[in-house]
Chains A and B, each alone.
Chain A
Amino acid sequence: MTGIPVEYFLLLGTGLFTIGVVGVLTRRNIIIILMSIELILNAVNINLVAFSHLYGNVNGQVFALFVITDAVAEAAVGLGLIIALFRNKETVNADEIDLLKW
C-alpha cells in the first residue's frame, strides 16, 4: 500500500519504452540497439509489476520472470551473432550490413 497511483508507473513505463524505441531507431551500433531492447523489456516489466501490485496477485510477477528469461536468451543469441558478424565483416554498424539490400 504505497499510495502511489498506478498511472505513475505506467507513465514511467511509457517513458522508458519511448527511450528504448528511440535507441533502436536512431543508433548505428548494434550493441547499443540490443541495450535499447533491454530498456524496452524493462518498461514492460514495470507495467506488469504495477498491475500485479494493483490486483494483489503475483501472476504479473511470474510473467515478468518469463520476460527476463526471454531477455537472457535474446542477449545470448544476439551477442553471439554480433561476434560472428564482427569476425566476418569487421563492423558493428547496422547500416553497413546491407548485403541483402543488393
Chain B
Amino acid sequence: MLAQSVFFILAAVALSSGVMVITRRNPVHSVIWLIVTLFSVGGIFLLQYAQFLFAVQIILYVGGIMVLYLFVIMLIRVETVAKQAPYGRQWPIGLGAVLVLAAELIYSLHKGVESFHLGPPVRPPMDMNNTEAVAGVLYNNYMLPVEIASLLLLVAMVGAVLMAKKRFE
C-alpha cells in the first residue's frame, strides 16, 4: 500500500523532528527542525487532497513565519542562550502532567474509535479542484470571518510594530 507507507514515513519524520525542535539548545537548530516538521505536515495535507492548504503551509509557514523567527533569533544573542540550561526547574512536573494528558487522549481515542468508522472517505467531486472548492466555501459561507481575519492581521501588524519600536511616547 503506497499511500500508507508514505503516511508512515511522513508521520515518523514529523514526530521525530518535533522532538528535535524541543530538545535542541540552539534556537536556530530548532527552527530548522521545525521547518522539517512543517514540510511533513504539509505532505500529510497533500495525502488528504488538501492541495490548497499544502501550498499555504509551504508559502506562509515555511516561507513567512520561519523567516520571521530566524530574524528575531538574529536580533537577540544566540551564543549566550545556547550556553544556559535549556529546561526550567519544573520540568519533571511538566513532563508528568503531559504524560497523564497523553495517556488520557490515547485512551479516549482507543475507546471511541468506533464512532469514527463512518464508511470510507468520500471522494471530493472531481469537476471542481480543491482550490476552487475552498474558495467557494470561503467567500460564500465565511465572508464575515474572512473580514474579521483581515482585521486581526491588521491589528497584529500594528501591534508588532508598536512592540518592536524603540520608545513608547
A residues neighboring B (CB under 8 Å) = 1-12, 14-23, 25-29, 31-32, 34-36, 38-39, 42, 45-46, 49-50, 52-59, 61-62, 64-66, 68-77, 79-84, 86, 92-95
20 more A-B residue pairs beyond the given contacts A31-B30, A32-B22, with a C-beta to C-beta distance below 8 A: A4-B3, A22-B22, A26-B22, A26-B91, A27-B86, A27-B87, A29-B86, A32-B27, A32-B30, A38-B65, A45-B41, A53-B48, A61-B130, A62-B137, A62-B138, A62-B142, A72-B156, A74-B156, A93-B81, A95-B88
* Interface pairs A-B: 3 shortest CB-CB: A56-B122, A25-B94, A80-B163
Docked-complex contact B15 and A62, CB < 8 angstroms: no
A58 & B159 in contact (Cβ 8 Å cutoff): no
The secondary structure that dominates the B interface is helix
Of the candidates B7, B27, B38, B64, which one forms a contact with A4 in the assembled complex, judged by CB atoms under 8 Å apart? Answer: B7
- Which of A29, A46, A57, A77 is the one whose CB lies under 8 Å from B156? A77
Judge whether B145 and A66 touch: CB under 8 Å.
yes
Query: In angstroms, how far is the closest chain B Cβ from the Cβ of A96?
Result: 10
B137 to A59, Cβ gap below 8 A? yes
B60 touches A76 (CB 8 A): no
Sample (26) of A-B pairs whose CB atoms are under 8 Å apart: A7-B116, A8-B7, A10-B116, A11-B106, A12-B14, A15-B11, A20-B18, A25-B90, A25-B97, A27-B22, A28-B86, A29-B27, A31-B72, A42-B38, A52-B50, A53-B49, A58-B124, A58-B134, A61-B53, A66-B145, A68-B56, A72-B153, A77-B156, A80-B159, A82-B72, A83-B164
Docked Cα-Cα span, A87 to B153, in Å, equals: 25
Judging by beta carbons under 8 Å apart, are B163 and A65 in contact? no
* B105 near A39: Cβ-Cβ < 8 Å: no
Closest chain B CB from A52 CB (angstroms):
7
- Selected contact of A84 from candidates B102, B116, B141, B164, CB within 8 Å: B164
Chain B nearest Cβ from A60, distance in angstroms: 9
| Contact partners of B121 in chain A: CB under 8 A | 1-2, 6, 53-54, 56
Query: Given that A19-B15, A53-B121 are known contacts, is A72 also in contact with B64, CB under 8 Å in the complex?
Result: yes
Q: Are A21 and B98 in contact (CB under 8 A)?
A: yes
Assembled-state Cα–Cα distance A29/B124 (Å): 43
A25-B98, A62-B138, A71-B65 in contact; A2/B75 too (CB < 8 A)? no
The residue in chain B whose Cβ has the minimal distance to the Cβ of A10 is B109
Max chain A CB contacts within 10 Å: which of B18, B87, B98, B102? B18
* Beta-carbon contacts under 8 Å, B63-108 to A: 64-65, 68-69, 72-73, 75-76, 81, 84-91, 94-95, 97-98, 101-102, 105-106
